[in-house]
Amino acid sequence: MGGADAIAGHVISVGAAFAGLVLVFLGINVASFDSYGAEQQKHVRGRFKARLGIAFLGFFLSVVAVGLGFAADWSESQTLAMWSAGVLALAVVLTVLAAGMVVSDVFD
């Protein structure tokens, strides 16, 4: 099945790269949270927890998508290839949502 191989290969590449970018996003946000003093962290913790939780879910789903992509490539399953693409799309949506929350916080 050439279609499943092509989709799976793209999901593996894009998913791995996207997971790396999300890790950078998470790291920047953790560093930003750590830059606050202990008293200030109490006041901003809720905002950071929400967006970091959503971003981590995006990272996790990216890794799941890569795993599904490998499984689809190995088994030549069109169904697994489509699932991997769908999971990756959901990861992108969640990460864009987390990034939107950061932008919203800046413009508040």
Name the DSSP letter for residue 35: T
Give tens-digit pLDDT for 34-85: 999 989 999 989 889 999 999 999 999 999 999 999 999 999 899 999 999 9
Question: Cα separation of 26 and 96, whole Å?
Answer: 13
pLDDT at 34: 92
pLDDT at 108: 73
- pLDDT: is 5 or 67 the higher one? 67
Question: Cα separation of 18 and 22, whole Å?
Answer: 6
Do the Cβ atoms of 26 and 87 come closer than 8 Å? no
77 phi and psi angles, rounded to 5 deg: -95, 120
Cβ atoms within 10 A of the Cβ of 64, count? 18
Full-model pTM: 0.87
pLDDT at 67: 97
